Structure 1
Amino acid sequence: MKGKTILLIMPYGSVGGMERLALSFYKYYKNSGYEVKALKFISLENDIINFNQDELYFSNKDFYEMSSFERLQFYLGAPLKIRKIIKDLDVSHSISFGDMANLFSSLTFTNEFKIGSIHALKSVELQGNSFFNKLTKIGYRTSYKNLNKLVCISKAIKDDLIKNCGYKFSNMEIIYNPHDIEHIQKLAEESLTDPFEKNIITQNTILFLGRMSIQKAPWHLIKAFKLLMENGKTKANLVFIGDGNKEVTKHVTTLIDKFNLSDKVFFLGRKDNPYKYISKAGLLALTSYYEGTPNVIVESIAIGIPIVSTNCTKGIEELMSLKEVMESNDNITVESGIITPNMFKGKLEIPNNDSFISEEKQFSEALNQVLNNADFKENLLLNQRQLLEKFDIQSVSKKYLKIN
Structure 2
Amino acid sequence: MTQKKVYKIALISEQLASGGAERCAALLSQFFESKNIVVHHVIVIDKVTYAFSGTLLNLGLYKNKSNGILNKLQRLCIFKEYVQNNSLDFIIDFRVKNNPFQEFIIAKYVYKAPYIVTVHSYCTDWYFPKWSFLAKKIYTNAYGIVSVSQKIAQKITGKYHYKNTEVIYNPIAIAEIQVLSEEPVTLKWDYVLGIGRMDDGVKQLDKLIAAYAKSVLPSKNIKLVLLGEGLLRKALELQAHQLDLADKVVFLGWKENPFKYMKQAKYTVLSSKNEGFGTVLIESLACKTPVISFDCLSGPSEIIKNNYNGLLVENQNVDKLAQAMNLMIEDTTLYQFCKQNALESVRRFSLETIGNKWLEYLKINVS
Structure-1 separation of matches of 2:300 and 2:28: 22
What is the aligned residue count? 354
Matched, 1:189 2:182: yes
Q: Which residue of 2 aligns with 1:82?
A: 79
Q: Which residue of 2 aligns with 1:27?
A: 30
Against the structure 1 CA distance between its residues 30 and 224, is the aligned structure 2 distance closer, same or farther, given a 3 Å change threshold?
same
Structure 2 length-normalised TM: 0.84
Q: Which residue of 2 aligns with 1:140?
A: 135
Paired letter, 1:237: K
Q: Which residue of 2 aligns with 1:340?
A: 313
CA RMSD of aligned residues (A): 3.1
Structure 1 length-normalised TM: 0.77
Look up the SS of the partner of 1:48 in the other structure: coil
Q: Which residue of 2 aligns with 1:238?
A: 224
Q: Which residue of 1 aligns with 2:289?
A: 305
Structure-2 separation of matches of 1:32 and 1:138: 40
Matches within 5 A, 1:153-164: 153-163=148-158
Structure-2 separation of matches of 1:307 and 1:377: 10
Look up the SS of the partner of 1:144 in the other structure: coil
Look up the SS of the partner of 1:309 in the other structure: strand
Q: Which residue of 2 aligns with 1:346?
A: none
Q: Which residue of 2 aligns with 1:390?
A: 348
Matches within 5 A, 1:1-400: 3-44=6-47, 47-51=48-52, 54-59=55-60, 70=67, 79-100=76-97, 104=103, 106-122=107-123, 134=129, 140-163=135-158, 166-192=159-185, 198-199=186-187, 202=189, 204-212=190-198, 213-228=200-215, 233-244=219-230, 246=231, 248-313=232-297, 315-321=299-305, 333-343=306-316, 359-384=317-342, 387-400=345-358
Against the structure 1 CA distance between its residues 260 and 382, is the aligned structure 2 distance closer, same or farther, given a 3 Å change threshold?
closer
Structure-2 separation of matches of 1:53 and 1:177: 20
Would you say the 8 A contact 1:11–1:100 is kept in 2?
Answer: no
State the shift of 1:109 in Å. Answer: 3.9
Against the structure 1 CA distance between its residues 377 and 91, is the aligned structure 2 distance closer, same or farther, given a 3 Å change threshold?
farther
* Identity in percent: 24
Against the structure 1 CA distance between its residues 256 and 136, is the aligned structure 2 distance closer, same or farther, given a 3 Å change threshold?
farther
Look up the SS of the partner of 1:206 in the other structure: strand
Structure-2 separation of matches of 1:381 and 1:146: 45
Paired letter, 2:59: F
Against the structure 1 CA distance between its residues 29 and 232, is the aligned structure 2 distance closer, same or farther, given a 3 Å change threshold?
closer
Structure-1 separation of matches of 2:219 and 2:250: 21
Structure-1 separation of matches of 2:313 and 2:28: 32
Give deviations 1:342-375, integer Å, cap 9, x for gaps: 22xxxxxxxxxxxxxxx22221121122134333
Against the structure 1 CA distance between its residues 174 and 364, is the aligned structure 2 distance closer, same or farther, given a 3 Å change threshold?
same
Structure-2 separation of matches of 1:371 and 1:266: 19
Structure 1: give runs of 5+ residues left out of the alignment.
127-131, 193-197, 322-332, 344-358
Paired letter, 1:42: I
Would you say the 8 A contact 2:285–2:343 is kept in 1?
Answer: no
Paired letter, 2:142: L
Structure-2 separation of matches of 1:337 and 1:100: 33
State the shift of 1:108 in Å. Answer: 4.2
Would you say the 8 A contact 1:336–1:380 is kept in 2?
Answer: yes
Would you say the 8 A contact 1:96–1:102 is kept in 2?
Answer: no
